[in-house]
Structure 1
């Protein structure tokens, strides 16, 4: 699998900059018992509902695992997807495909590095540029939910994101599928072993091993956690209560 060429980012951003966007939908209100910390508005859904959710981050730059979209469709599941702006500029068709499967599309910033290492102005630029790029690809504003690159957030990043109307989301359990050494068994064990009521599982649609490791583990995870009584919902639904 080959990484996408990020040297064309500026050309891609210019090419998609002129599309008028429809008004943004309001964020789903967070239930009082949704779990958070200083850097995030949400790190797990409301307990007592039996819900779990995938957080699909998109923007690593490797071959997208379209089979994941087919698997989710086969199970009748809608799950939350968070797309990085540079990728939306380069491959708007991928963003459109994700939306066509019925998945809510949020943002994952515009590009690396971590937001916590950047100035206030650069954080604002990155978040807003990500919103604009994903919105240009979709033809309407994305869901106002943001996952920061590398899960790097703190009170400063959160306050800036909130001022831009974004709900900043963190994970409860990481699959580790971003690692070059990730395997289907390891991804399965991390997620199923770490599952709890309200858990948010971090996975990727386009990491180095998404097309085989993440895609292979996905039905195992869905089958086994469903058998344990969990219900897969979007992060937005998990945050809203039972």
Structure 2
């Protein structure tokens, strides 16, 4: 029987090499995992920086959006607009105006259904049909999905994941679809705003009236504004 003898130095070298390989494998897996969309919905952005993201879910409100864009331009704020496919198909020029103003465009499904009532394939088609509409009008869509009504059951999350989308929820909700007074919107957001907050809004008249003061108040408190993809 042949016996091999190794010096202590060689053994340490071999062990170090094995350790480096293992570390490389673990880091590689971590990188791949972080680079891929997660099944889990995202409720908040990076909390290390004092920044927030304004996000508008759009399936109606074409009469208010131009004025909202004017406020955002005057305040030098870029927002994220999650738009349904049917809205983009009906108002392509307005959607182009949003995109050309430098705002981010996300996917809000096609027909604004209740996603939890759909099966996996139906949810996939809702997202893909919206992609097709945006491709037709020549607008790039960011792979972010805001499910209608905030419904995010397992099949909804799986559909987004299969299409390489991140599912976006919100940190703070203005609940502006109930048509509250602008002061109520401010009271719902300003005291609770924090690092990484995703602030959900809709193109409503009450939101338009609250928006200038909302931006000014957050900025006065040293918050900066980012798009959703930049903050998560």
The alignment's TM-score, normalised by the length of structure 2, stands at 0.80
In structure 1, the partner of 2:162 is 163
Change (3 A) 1:160 1:49: same
How far apart, CA to CA, are the structure 1 residues paired with 2:60 and 2:150? 13
The alpha-carbon deviation at position 194 of structure 1 amounts to: 2.2
* Preserved CA contact (<8 Å) 1:84 1:134: no
How far apart, CA to CA, are the structure 2 residues paired with 1:193 and 1:60? 29
Q: Which runs of 5+ in 1 are unaligned?
A: 1-28
How far apart, CA to CA, are the structure 2 residues paired with 1:38 and 1:60? 28
Q: Which runs of 5+ in 2 are unaligned?
A: 1-30
How far apart, CA to CA, are the structure 2 residues paired with 1:75 and 1:91? 25
Describe the SS at the equivalent of 1:44. Answer: coil
Per-residue CA deviation, residues 26-76 of structure 1 (Å, 9 max, x unaligned), is: xxx9x97xxx99651x21111120011111111135633311101111111
Describe the SS at the equivalent of 1:178. Answer: helix
The alpha-carbon deviation at position 229 of structure 1 amounts to: 1.5
In structure 2, the partner of 1:191 is 189
How far apart, CA to CA, are the structure 1 residues paired with 2:124 and 2:80? 23
How far apart, CA to CA, are the structure 2 residues paired with 1:95 and 1:62? 10
Matches within 5 A, 1:1-242: 39-40=40-41, 42-60=42-60, 63-137=63-137, 139-179=138-178, 181-205=179-203, 210=204, 212-239=205-232
- Structure of higher CA gyration radius: 2
Change (3 A) 1:163 1:37: closer
In structure 2, the partner of 1:12 is none
Per-residue CA deviation, residues 77-124 of structure 1 (Å, 9 max, x unaligned), is: 111111100111111011101011110111100013211111111111
Query: In the comparison of the two structures, how many residue pairs are matched?
Result: 199
How far apart, CA to CA, are the structure 2 residues paired with 1:69 and 1:124? 30
After superposing on structure 2, the runs of 4+ consecutive aligned residues of structure 1 that deviate more than 3 Å are 36-39
The alpha-carbon deviation at position 136 of structure 1 amounts to: 2.0
In structure 1, the partner of 2:23 is none
